[in-house]
Structures are given as C-alpha cells and as structure tokens.
Amino acid sequence: MKQIAEHKDNAESVIKHAGFSFLYIRNLSPIPVEEVQYHSAVIIEVKNYDFVRLMVSSIRANHSPDIYLKPIFLLKKDAQDQPVLDELSDGAIKGLDELDLVVPTVERISTRVQDLTFTNSISFEAQVITKLITLLYTKEQKTVEPFPYIYSNIGYYFPLLSVNFAQEEETVALDILKIAEEEGILRSDYYDRVYLCSSCSSNHLSYREVCPKCSSSNTTPDDIIHHFPCGYVGPMQDFKNEIDDKLDCPKCNKRLRHIGVDYDKPSVIHECNNCNHKFQDYHVHAKCLSCHSDKSVESLKSTEIMSYRLTKKGELAAIKGFVTTTKDIDEVIGTIKYDTFKTMLKYEIERLKQTEGSSNICAINISNSSQVYSKLGSDLQRGLLKDLVSVIRSNIRSSDVIAFESSSTIVMSMNAIPNKIAKKIIGEMVSLLNDLIKTSFEDLDVLFDTKVVALDYAKTHDAHLKELISDFS
Amino acid sequence: MDELLDNYIRFLATLTPAYFVELFWFYFVFEFVRYFLLEFVVLNLAKIKSIFNKSNKEDARRRLFMENPLVSILIPGKNEGKHLYKLVNSLGEQTYKNIEIIVVCDGSDDDTPIIGRSLEKAGLIDLFIRNEVRGGKASAANTALRFAKGKYIIHLDADCSYDNDAMEKILIPFFEDERVGGVGGNVSVRNYKESLVTTLQGIEYYNTITTGRTVTSYLGIYRIISGAFGAFRADVIHQIKGWDIGPGLDGDITVKIRKKGYKIRFAQDANCLTSVPNTFRKLIKQRLRWDKSLVRFRMRKHKDVLMPTASFKLLDFFSAFENITYNVILNFKWYVYLLIMLTFYRPLFLNIFITNILLYTTTNFVKFIVYSLYREKAHNSMSYFLIYLPCMVFYFGIYLRVVRTIAYIQELFFKKSYQDPWNPRKTSVHAKHLGI
Ligand SMILES: [Zn+2]
Ligand SMILES: [Zn+2]
Ligand SMILES: [Zn+2]
C-alpha cells in the first residue's frame, strides 16, 4: 500500500517532455536528492523560499556530478528576484506549459557535460575547484561574482562555490578561490572589502560607539557651551533651569541669548551612564551576532572580496579534469617547487656560458593521466606520484632536481652529462616505471611520453621549458 | 675721560648724607628701603620661621600622603601638542602619584588634537578635550575645571617642566594651614643661556619671583599665582566659579580667592622651569600684556579692595596698594624724579646718573649674592649670572620701565587690552562692556 502511494507520488513528480525526464519537486515535497541523478533536469515549485533554497543548495552541494550538474528550473508565478537562487538555477518558468522554453538549455547542458572528464582529485581543494569549473563550463558562464547575501556569514556569497560550505565555514570559499587563482584557473578583480569577526569570521556585526573606559554603549552626548562674558564652560546640562527651557549661565546667572554673540558651542562631550566617565573620543566596538564577542573595530579582520573570471586554462582544466593543486604536488617528497626548478635552470644556463660542458633537462609525462587518475582514489594517486618520484630519484645524481610541471608532467635536470646518455637514462627509467606499475597497481595502464632537451646557453630558460613540454597536450 | 673722572670724584667729595638723600631719594626710598632693606629683613624672618616650622611641615607632608587626595592637573592651551608628550612623561615621574591629567586644546590649528587623542588612548592623559572654536585661556581652564574630579586643582602650562617633587611641594601648604586657598609655585627660567635677554630675565625671575614672592607671601600680600604653576583647593575655585577672562587671569583669580577670605602662599621649593621670550621684541609684547592687566584688574575690576566697604580687608588692601604703588605710581614717580634732576640739578646730571647706576648695580650684586643664601637648591649656576648683573640696571631700570609706561598709558587711557588678540574678540567685547 505504502509502496503504491510512493510510486504514485513519483509518477506525478516525473514529467516526460521532448525526450527529457524532468523531476518536478512540489513545494515542501520530501524528495531525496539522490533521485535527481535519474532525470535530465529538475523543476522546483517556488512557494516557500526556504524550501527552494534548501532543495537547490542540496543539489548543487552534492559531490556527484550526476547530481550537482543537473539543470534546475524554478517554477514561479511571481517574478520576485532572488539573485542567489537565480545564479544557482538555470532559468525560471511561470507554468508547466512553458517547458518548451527550457528544453534548449537542458539540451545544451547535457551536451556540454559530455565534454567533461571526471578524475578523482587528490585534495579537497582540487575537488571543490573541479565542481566550480565544471559547473561554470556546463552553464557556459565565465564569471564568479560575489553576491551580497544576508544568509551569508561573511556578507558575500559566491553561489556556485559557497553552496558547498556550511555557514560557519564560508571563509573556506575565499581560500579556495585564492588557490584557484594561484593555479591560473581564475583571474580576480577587486570588488569590495568586508570586516570579519576575529574569533569566528562572521560579518554579522553590530557597530556601536562605546565608552573608552568601560566599553558600555549606554552613553549620552551633550553640547559644551562657552559663555563669553564670564568665561564659564560646561555641558549644556549646567545651563538648564527648572522653570523654563531657556538656558542660564550657572556662573553669572545671565540668560544665554544669541549663539556666536554671547555664547557658543565649541565641542561635544559624551557621558557614560555606566561608569560616569566623560569623553570626547568614543571607541567603536563591533559586537558579533554569531559568537557574541564584543571587540574594538581595530581587531576585525579586513578581508578583500574579489570577483573572478574563468581563464582559458580553467576551462581546459574542466574538460581534462583537474586533479591536483600545486600545493598538493609540492608536498610530494623528493621534489622541489616548479618555480625553484626554473630558477635553478636559469643558473645552470648562466654557468654553461662560462664553462664548456653539456647539461640537459628531461620530462616524463603521463599521457593518459585523466584515465589513470579517474581509476585511482586520491590516496592511490598520491602513492603513484610518490613512487614515480622515488624511481626517478634513484636514477639521477643527487645534485639533480625533480619538480612537477603539472599533475601529469614531471621535469628533472640532468646536468654535466652528454645528451645521448641522458636519453639513455630516461629510456631505462621508463621501463623501470612500467615494471613498478605492473607490480604495484593491478590492471592499470599508464602511458609515458618522454623528452630530453640539451641546454643551449644562447636560449633563455623559458624557451627551453617551452620546448621541453610542447609535445605533451 | 680723565676730566670726567676728576669731575666725578670732586662730586663725590661734596656728598653729605643729607645731600645724598636729596639727590638720590628715589633710589633710597624705593629701591633701598623697599627692595633691599625690607626684603632682607623679611627673608631672615621667613628663614627663622621655616626653621621653627620644620616639624609642622613634615607633619603636613605626612598628612598629604596619608590622605592621598586625588589631584587634578589642568593643562589648557592652544597649539601645545608638541610639548605634551614630554610634559606628561615628566608628570609620571612625580613623587605624588594620585593625579588625573586633563588637557584642553583650545581651538588648536596644528596637530595637537592628534597628539592629545593618542596620549589619551595610551592612558597617559585621563581626559583630552578638544574645543573646535577657540575660547581663550580662561575658557580653556574652565573647561578643564568643569570635568576635574580632584580635591585639589593644579594649573600648569604645557611648555613648562617640573621638578619631580614639585607637585608634592606645592600641595604641602594646604596641609600646613587649612585657610590656604591657593599656592603658587616657584618659576625659574629654563633657557637662561639662550640670549642676553633670557639671561636678564633669569635674574629678574630670581628677584621678583623666588625672592620677591617669598617676601610678599610672608607678609601676607602675595598676589599672583602663576598660571605656569599654581595649586588651588577645588572647593575654593568652584566657589569663585573658576577663571574670568584674561589677560592677567592669574592675578585675577588670586585676588578673587583672597576676597573670599582664603590665604595665598608661595612655595619656593616647588620648582618649575619655563621658557621666556628670547628677543627684546618678543619680550615687549609679553610685558605690554602683563602690565596692562595690572591696570585692568587692580584699578578697574578689583578697585573695591581699595575702598572702605563692608568686605574691606586690611591685607587685601595692602596687597593691592603695595602692588599699585610699587608699580604704577612708582613708575610715574620715576619720571618726576628724572624731571626734577634734569631741571634743578642739570649741571650735576651726568654725575647723578653715574651714581645712580653705581648704586643700583652695587645693590644688585649685594642682593644677588646675599639672597642666594636664602634660595633653595637652584638649577642654574649662580656664577653664570654675575657678569651680566651690570646690565640689569638698564634692563630693569630703563627698558622694562619704558615698556611699562607705554602699557599703563595704553590701558589707562585707551583700554588697549580689550583689543589684544590673545583673547578671542567675541569674549573681549563682553569684558569691555562689563568693565572687567
Ligand atoms: Zn563607561
Ligand atoms: Zn556666564
Ligand atoms: Zn564572532
């Protein structure tokens, strides 16, 4: 009985149209998010915005590309603007009879999803970046703009990215964007600055002028009055009388008549109603509405909010799969940073100008890396890279260095040996690597390309590197 | 030259005591009697009194530290920011610790507000009040007074510096005698080596402040608590409702305290160093203002102390009388003397002139050396001043006298002080209207 009811529910929730299957989620209907993967697109009825937000977020925050990449359309009668929801979804319709309008979008997204390669990323950061750039790619969107958003803990929301984080972890989104920029996947422009609580990074702050002595916000300002004829100076309170609302000088009893003629107001003083301290220069405190800390504004974390654009490299990374961030491979033991490698190459070229001799740089590229990585979990990927490096390490001199140019290309120096010998060593290395993979990883086909470039002191280090990796796509 | 000397020696030979008095009555009556004999006698009496008073004084000091009252230090001024850090730091060195520092910035147009605020933030100043519009010295002092919480009020100038026991020393007289309402500190010249004019002022301050005020204080007719360093009982200063508009507000507030029946004391051992004008031109400006205020306050605002009214007090009368006599009247009397000498003793004038110079200079040397025995430890080396003493007769006897004459005439006949930019015009208008 129960099953029938459920089945009936589902039947009502699925709409077949133009060859696509639309999952129609009615207001407040409890449809599990896993259901999404069996359909081409999702339509959400908009009545209760909290519900819509919840549904849209749980789809976009899901880790499976079959779910988070699905087109979402909002069915809303009124045209109320919800910029963040609009950014997270792919369009809106006024009624189910308008389904034709969204069919092209569903078609386009479904096609573009086919272009993508899904690899298992080594790190959490790489996973989240993959989610972001694949979404951007399928939506044919180039920008990641910050949206002012009251539900955001930091005040600005990057919908496609921030949706992955709980409110109190939203600053992680900023870290991820920074990494993506360092990787050359995104480019940034200044957008705004926010001040965040130093204890919990919340932007939900209440600013108040407080007493510099006891930090109470219960203060009263009063004009200071200077009575010219007698030189008396004091807060306006001193000049008030009990009979009328005129002001009388407490020193000489004269009535104040005309500002600028017989008196003026040279400044303002504040009195604290808590500790009676009098002061002119109040402090400004920010009370955090999230963690309730109350600190001076100087202690707040000033944070830049940038808007981002997807680079060509970022687009390619979406298609080819984004496996690691530089940070991840920098952590592989036995390697140096690629930038350091470049610098050392520069010095070696300089050295060759002075002395006779021949040096080389070599590269080993995993030509089917997307395939390889998608078969391996992130721990195994890291293990593979470690193994490769240790084999290479044991076949070159200790004075030579190894670096990752990318997650699929390893570069190394082979200084002070003839080019012919370098080529021979590389050849031996590849067969050793093949042996290693055969023994350590079952059923894994790894294809290696190699290249050796002899250093020529007439050329720059950049030219050398270009030549070295030009054959690898 | 020889002829001149011969002539002079012959002149000296003709001098009998009676003839001496006839020719030099001005020196004899005013300088010798008032400024030498009287001072010498009083200094000795004061010394004797202080020896007998020693245990009383120690007891007063003990009571001061036992009671440990809060003392409010008021520092009003315009564009004094550059001095503030040094001053506030030196106040931290004081032996008397229970102080609150209130700085009022009276419409400064330099970076005083920034300096003051940061010192306040750092906790070196308890309260910094910035008045956007300048109100004048009195209003600035009154602003500070309004927010002072201390039982005693000490008024300082930002560009002065203080011995580290100065606050303690200026407070002790309040505990020696409960009828004391105000105490003046001893002011000496810090930049006495800067130029001839500052050196001469250094000597002048010794004579008129260190020695002069010790004497007037003993006699009960001490009349000016310097703005640079003065202490007041808070209840007394509130009774007289603070400072009235200047210039000369230092003397004014002292008179007002006296009128309320309180005693005024001079604390010679409470040392303050001040920078004085370093050129004759700047000094003229300062003295014109000071001298005008004497007329304005003594003879105009507080002329009642000279009248036999109900509130008449003998000491107040003497204080004002002595002040007016030895300044205003004496100043004009000198011209009378000059005129008489020029008219009736014309052939002898050169000799009389030389003798006067010798008389005054000799007196200056004797006074300076003898009186130094009555001065407490001093910052400045006494010997430095000796070679400059011969200049004093010209500085004090002629230069300052001429300046004073101009000031008196300007004020008596033209009420010039109401135009002094030292006070904002908006306040002077009212002061003139009220005749204060
Ligand atoms: Zn307070
Ligand atoms: Zn008044
Ligand atoms: Zn917080």
For the sheet with A14-17, list strands across it.
A14-17, A20-25, A41-45, A72-75, A91-93
Give the DSSP H/E element, type plus range, for residue A174.
helix A171-182
CA torsion B110-B112-B115-B116 (nearest 10°) is -160
Chain A residue at shortest CA distance from B114 = A281
Distance CA A175, CA A173 (A): 5
In this predicted model, what pLDDT tens digit does every residue of B166-200 receive, in sequence order? 999 999 999 999 999 999 999 999 898 999 999 99
Question: What's the pLDDT band for B165 if we cut at 50, 70, 90?
Answer: very high
Q: What's the longest Cα–Cα distance across chain A? A: 109
Tokens at residue A271, please? 């009195």
pTM of the complete model: 0.69
Distance CA B425, CA A225 (A): 17
Report which bound ligand comes closest to the CA of A227: 2
* Contact criterion met (CB < 8 Å) for B245 and A280: no
Q: Classify A108 as helix, strand or coil.
A: helix
Q: pLDDT value at position B384? A: 85
Mean pLDDT of chain B: 86
Burial class (CB in 10 A: 0-12, 13-18, 19+), A105: middle
**Which residues, by Cβ under 5 Å, contact ligand 3, an ion?**
A 197, 199-200, 202, 288, 290-291, 293
Q: pLDDT value at position A275? A: 93
Residues of chain B with Cβ-Cβ distance to A212 below 8 Å are 120-121
Q: At what angle do helices A378-393 and A419-440 cross, to 10 degrees?
A: 140
Q: pLDDT value at position A4? A: 36
* Contact criterion met (CB < 8 Å) for B107 and A262: no
How crowded is the C-beta side of A319, counted as CA atoms within 13 Å? 11
Residues of chain A with Cβ-Cβ distance to B121 below 8 Å are 212, 281
Residues of chain A with Cβ-Cβ distance to B429 below 8 Å are 228
Does residue A269 sit at the B interface (CB-CB below 8 Å)? yes
Identity of the residue in A212, A278, A280 whose CB atom sits nearest the CB atom of B130: A280
Residue A225: strand pairing partners: A234
Quote the ipTM score.
0.81
* Contact criterion met (CB < 8 Å) for B430 and A262: yes
Q: pLDDT value at position B152? A: 97
Q: How far is the CA of B74 from the centre of ligand 2 (A)?
A: 21
Query: Taking a C-beta distance cutoff of 8 angstroms, is the pair A213, A275 a contact?
Result: yes
Distance CA A452, CA A167 (A): 50
* Contact criterion met (CB < 8 Å) for B127 and A279: yes
Tell which residue, B353, B331, B325, has the closest CA to residue B401: B331
Q: Which chain B residues have any C-beta within 8 angstroms of a chain A C-beta?
A: 107, 117, 120-121, 127-136, 138-140, 142-143, 146-147, 241-245, 426-427, 429-431, 433-434
Burial class (CB in 10 A: 0-12, 13-18, 19+), A431: exposed
Q: How far is the CA of A209 from the centre of ligand 1 (A)?
A: 11
Identity of the residue in B128, B133, B142 whose CB atom sits nearest the CB atom of A232: B142
Q: What DSSP string describes B117-150?
A: HHHHHTTSSSEEEEESS---HHHHHHHHHHH---
CA-to-CA dists, residue B430 to A196, A261, A344, B78, angstroms: 54, 9, 83, 21
- For the residues B109-133, what does the mean pLDDT come to? 89
Residues of chain A with pLDDT under 70: 1-12, 120-122, 323, 326-327, 330, 370, 374, 377-378, 473
Query: Taking a C-beta distance cutoff of 8 angstroms, is the pair A195, A181 a contact?
Result: no
Chain A residue at shortest CA distance from B242 = A232
Q: pLDDT value at position A11? A: 46
In this predicted model, what pLDDT tens digit does every residue of B277-333 receive, in sequence order? 999 999 998 888 888 877 777 667 777 766 665 555 777 777 777 777 777 777 788
What spatial distance separates the first Cα and last Cα of chain A, rounded to whole Å? 58
Question: What's the pLDDT band for B380 if we cut at 50, 70, 90?
Answer: low
Q: pLDDT value at position B422? A: 67
For residue B163, pLDDT over 60 is answered with yes
CA-to-CA dists, residue A406 to A369, B243, B375, angstroms: 11, 80, 88
Buried (b) or exposed (e) across B287-326, using 16+ Cβ within 10 A?
A: bbbbbbbbbbbbbebbeebeeeeeeeeeebebbbbebbee
Report which bound ligand comes closest to the CA of A300: 3
Q: Mutate which of A215, A228, A263 to test chain B, going by most B C-beta atoms within 10 A?
A: A228
Residues of chain A with Cβ-Cβ distance to B243 below 8 Å are 231
**Which residues, by Cβ under 5 Å, contact ligand 2, an ion?**
A 227, 230, 232, 249, 251-252
Kindly state the DSSP code that residue A155 receives in the 8-state scheme: S
Tokens at residue A273, please? 């109603």
How crowded is the C-beta side of A270, counted as CA atoms within 13 Å? 19
Q: How far is the CA of A294 from the centre of ligand 1 (A)?
A: 15
Burial class (CB in 10 A: 0-12, 13-18, 19+), B150: middle
* Contact criterion met (CB < 8 Å) for B431 and A229: yes
- For the residues B14-42, what does the mean pLDDT come to? 83
Distance CA A153, CA A163 (A): 12
Query: Taking a C-beta distance cutoff of 8 angstroms, is the pair B220, B263 a contact?
Result: yes
Identity of the residue in B107, B117, B131 whose CB atom sits nearest the CB atom of A281: B117
Measured in degrees and rounded to the nearest 5, phi and psi for residue B194 equal -70, -45
**How many beta carbons lie within 10 A of that of residue B187, not counting itself?**
24
Tell which residue, A416, A419, A422, A421, has the closest CA to residue A356: A416
Residues of chain B with Cβ-Cβ distance to A234 below 8 Å are 142-143, 146
Buried (b) or exposed (e) across B213-242, using 16+ Cβ within 10 A?
A: bbbbbbbebbbbbbbbbbbbbbebbeebbb
Tokens at residue B210, please? 């260190």
Identity of the residue in A235, A262, A266 whose CB atom sits nearest the CB atom of B131: A266
Distance CA A29, CA A51 (A): 9
Distance CA B433, CA B410 (A): 18
Residues of chain B with Cβ-Cβ distance to A231 below 8 Å are 135-136, 138-139, 142, 242-245, 427
* Contact criterion met (CB < 8 Å) for B426 and A238: no
Question: What's the pLDDT band for B424 if we cut at 50, 70, 90?
Answer: confident
Distance CA B339, CA A283 (A): 69
In this predicted model, what pLDDT tens digit does every residue of B126-147 receive, in sequence order? 999 998 888 888 899 999 999 9
**Which residues, by Cβ under 5 Å, contact ligand 1, an ion?**
A 211, 213-214, 216, 272, 274-275, 277
Identity of the residue in A234, A264, A281 whose CB atom sits nearest the CB atom of B133: A264
Q: pLDDT value at position A8? A: 43
- Checking A349-354 for CB contacts under 8 A at 24+ apart, the result is A349/A455, A349/A457, A349/A459, A349/A460, A349/A461, A349/A464, A350/A457, A352/A455, A352/A457, A353/A457
Q: pLDDT value at position A312? A: 92
* Contact criterion met (CB < 8 Å) for A230 and B244: yes
Q: Mutate which of A224, A233, A236, A278 to test chain B, going by most B C-beta atoms within 10 A?
A: A233
Chain B residue at shortest CA distance from A212 = B121
For residue B247, pLDDT over 70 is answered with no
Identity of the residue in B146, B426, B434 whose CB atom sits nearest the CB atom of A233: B146
Does residue A235 sit at the B interface (CB-CB below 8 Å)? yes
Query: Taking a C-beta distance cutoff of 8 angstroms, is the pair A291, A199 a contact?
Result: yes
In this predicted model, what pLDDT tens digit does every residue of B347-379 receive, in sequence order? 888 888 888 888 889 988 988 888 888 877 666
Residues of chain B with Cβ-Cβ distance to A267 below 8 Å are 129-132
